[in-house]
Structure 1
Amino acid sequence: MPKAQETILEIDLKALKHNFEYLKSQTKPGTKLLAVVKAFAYGSDANEIANYLQELGVDYFAVAYIHEGIALRQAGITKPILVLHPQAVNFKLLIDHCLEPSIYSTKILNEFIEIATKEKQTHYPVHIKFNTGLNRLGFAENNVDYLISKLKETTSIKVASIFSHLAASEDLTEKAFTLNQIQSFKNISEDFIPMLGYKPILHICNTSGILNYPEAHFDMIRTGIGLYGFGNSEKENKHFKPIATLKTIISQIHTIEKGQSIGYNRAYKSDAQMKTATLPIGHADGIGRQYGKGKGFVTIHGQRAPIIGNVCMDMIMVNITNIDCKEGDEVIVFGPDSTAEQLAEQVHTISYELITAISQRVKRVFLK
């Protein structure tokens, strides 16, 4: 593949296909797969990713907010799109673009029924979210009777699915908690469906849930981070291929004498002669200041070069004293070999935060 000549995020669609097919292989025939493409498809490119997944036969998409779903519709996505955290102010736009809301509270339920009725909708698909332990969004188990009574009062909406979200499916020391969540969801479903009078789709599993709790796949699985190449453990990661490689180049090389400082606030002072490389990427591109002062690193010709001094808005400086390189050479910030997860661990965060932070000003290049 060609070497980078500027800062780019290279996205490998073959790796995406591999991850999609692996996740599908872990389910029983007929189990639907919902692809989570919120936050620009976890920092990559939602339109390209969603269109490719649509070609591969994904059943559903999910985004966080309504404007993300509208962008997908405008990009040619025709599959159903679940909006996980819709805001009532945008409900008419949601209906105009055939998006499907998560209904997670009494307020949201009543406001959506009101707008759906006003817009003369019949059996508009909605998804009822239950809180089984994450304590973030969702109805409680004792809200079932109230929900049924509200649903029986209107023909403007119809339940497409009921779902919940696992809080710690990647942590097997919390297995008892997760199994309790799954049992709670089963109990809710067994109460809800007979009173509803028809069977909606049931789903609770995220990526780690898919792999660790196959008995809880129900009718559909939801996957976000797995599609983009990460599990949530070393065991899971072996099955995935990271789809994104963040590349940049060396803009300039400096020889720094003993006692000289580097960067803003003189955050690094050399205790011996050294060589540094300045790279055209900084905190405005998603490499936060927490990666500076020797905590983060990049890879040049297979060798790690620590980030020194403070990360600037548009640049970082790295120590190349023991690396044979020149101006214009390619630099890997993260990729399949030196992963976003490994870099994120240096500052005690997770791959999700790093990859979703990559700025939209970074050029996306797709390998097809």
Structure 2
Amino acid sequence: MNSIGETTLLIDLNALEHNYRFLKSKLAQETKFLAVVKAFAYGSDMVTVAKKMETLGVDYFAVAYVKEGILLRNAGIKLPILVLHPQHINFHELIEYSLEPSLYSPKILKLFLEVAKDKGQTAYPVHVKFNTGLNRLGFWENDVDYIAEHLRDRKELKIISVFSHLAASEDTNEKSFSLTQIETFKKISKELNQKLGYAPFRHMLNTSGIINYPEAQFEMVRSGIGLYGYGNDKAIDGQLKPVATLKTIISQIHKIEPNESVGYNRAFKSDHYRTTATLPLGHADGIGRHYGNQKGHVRINGKYASVIGNVCMDMIMVDVTDIDCKEGDEVVVFGQNPSAEDFAASANTISYEILTAISPRVKRVIINP
């Protein structure tokens, strides 16, 4: 008897706790822990995850945009929230909801300073990001003087952290580059401390950094994907537990004759008698077209079934010729087996993408609350 009845994303809070404790075990006791809950907690449930992490004792949260931080504040989250990519248009709301911006360029620093002054702020907490090689966001090393000159004697803002981001922390072939980034960050933060006359706390490590460069944990680390069960390494993945499991059911079973086609554009044509199962999820639910045509696969009654034909907006079809199954049976899209990483790899992408792609219309069910 099917236990879900419809396409459902199960969110296991026991797994979340396990992953948090595993990552914490790699750190010094005094190192602060920032939980990254952007993108709806990597496609799961941002409020539920944040509330659980608060009870577990994390020190900080991070989101990408101001509206995500507002959602958490409206849900009652009290911990500090770092906004990694704030936009000028949202600065007034950012202050209204006591969110903490990442200042990553001269323009953003100047604009936020103006808003803080306009709103009568004193020592408003800000974080300054430096670009040490990812080349995405961040001040350059030679901007230290500019930052110090603009903030040293200003009452409106107070730098409480400086941070950077490793570009390839999971890739051991890039160890030399990562170590150079770490040394550059050390030099920058030391110089900034001297010019400011005080020492903001530092953070640079992401999930893979925690595993591969624990000596650079500084005063805080940031973890996103690791909390949700993926460590960008098979050995680490084996010690983590997937938080999200995507399940669905078989809506209908078809008997396909030789030379019959399946799906739009007749993308699949059968070479012999086959049995197909139609599942109620598609690219509107986050399963992109790149998983079609025997690239993606799901698990039905312990066996793998390949996606055949093009992925439709609301449906996919899978080959169940050699699987004993019936309409209404449960289907595992990803979770423990296959994992989101396995499922994503079948279409040459990564777990981050499939996890964050799952549509809001997919039912969320919290287990082990």
**TM-score bucket of the superposed structures, by smaller chain:** over 0.9
Q: Does the 8 Å contact 1:293/1:308 carry over to 2?
A: yes
How much has 1:93 moved relative to structure 2?
Answer: 0.3
Deviates more, 1:233-242 or 1:333-342: 233-242
Aligned counterpart, 2:154: 154
Per mean C-alpha deviation after superposition, the further-off stretch among 254-263 and 280-289 is 254-263
Check whether the contact 1:242–1:336 (CA below 8 A) recurs between aligned residues: yes
Residues 1:61 and 2:61 are matched in the alignment: yes
Equivalent residue, structure 1, for 2:44: 44
Task: Note the C-alpha offset of 1:337.
Answer: 2.0
2:138 counterpart residue number: 138
Counterpart of 2:227 in 1: which secondary structure?
Answer: coil
Which residue identity is paired with 1:266?
R
Deviations 1:31-55 (A, max 9, x none): 0000000000000010100011001
Kindly indicate whether residue 274 of structure 2 is the aligned counterpart of residue 257 of structure 1: no
- Partner residue in 1 for 2:291: 291
Task: Indicate whether 1:78 and 2:51 are aligned.
Answer: no
* Alpha carbons 2:2, 2:329 under 8 Å: kept: no
Mapped contact 2:42–2:352 kept (Cα < 8 A): yes
Q: Residue 356 of structure 2 aligns with which residue?
A: 356
- Corresponding residue SS for 2:53: helix
Q: Pairwise mapping of residues 176-325 of structure 1 onto structure 2 (< 5 A)?
A: 176-325=176-325
Query: For 2:347, what is the secondary structure of its paired residue?
Result: coil
Q: Distance between the aligned counterparts of 2:331 and 2:54, measured in 1? A: 33
- Read off the aligned partner of 2:213 and give its amino acid letter: Y
What's the CA shift string for 1:308-341, capped at 9, x where partnerless? 0010000000000000000000000001121010
5+ long unaligned stretches in structure 2? none
Match of 2:168 in 1: 168
Equivalent residue of 2:175, what SS? helix
Partners of 1:239 and 1:254 in 2: CA distance: 40
Matches within 5 A, 1:77-96: 77-96=77-96
- Sequence identity, in percent? 62
On the 8 A contact 2:253/2:275 being kept in 1, the answer is yes
- What displacement does 1:189 show? 1.1
- Using the TM superposition, give the Cα deviation of residue 3 of structure 1 relative to its aligned residue in structure 2, in angstroms: 2.2
Moved over 4 A (4+): none
Question: 1:100–1:125: 8 Å Cα contact kept in structure 2?
Answer: yes
What residue identity is the alignment partner of 1:108? I
Structure 1's unaligned 5+ residue stretches are none
Count of residues in correspondence between the two structures: 368
Deviations, residues 174-205 of structure 1 (Å, cap 9, x unaligned): 00000000000000111111221222110000
Distance 2:44 2:176 in 1: 35
2:92 partner SS: helix
Between the aligned partners of 2:278 and 2:272, the Cα distance in structure 1 is: 19
Residue 24 (structure 2) aligns with: 24
Q: 1:243 touches 1:336 (CA, 8 Å); kept in 2?
A: no
Instruction: With the length of structure 2 as denominator, give the TM-score of the two structures.
Output: 0.99
3-state DSSP class of the match of 1:226? helix
Counterparts of 2:193 and 2:295 in 1: how far apart (Å)?
52
SS at match of 1:115: helix
Alignment partner, residue 8 of structure 2: 8
What is the deviation of 1:2?
A: 7.5
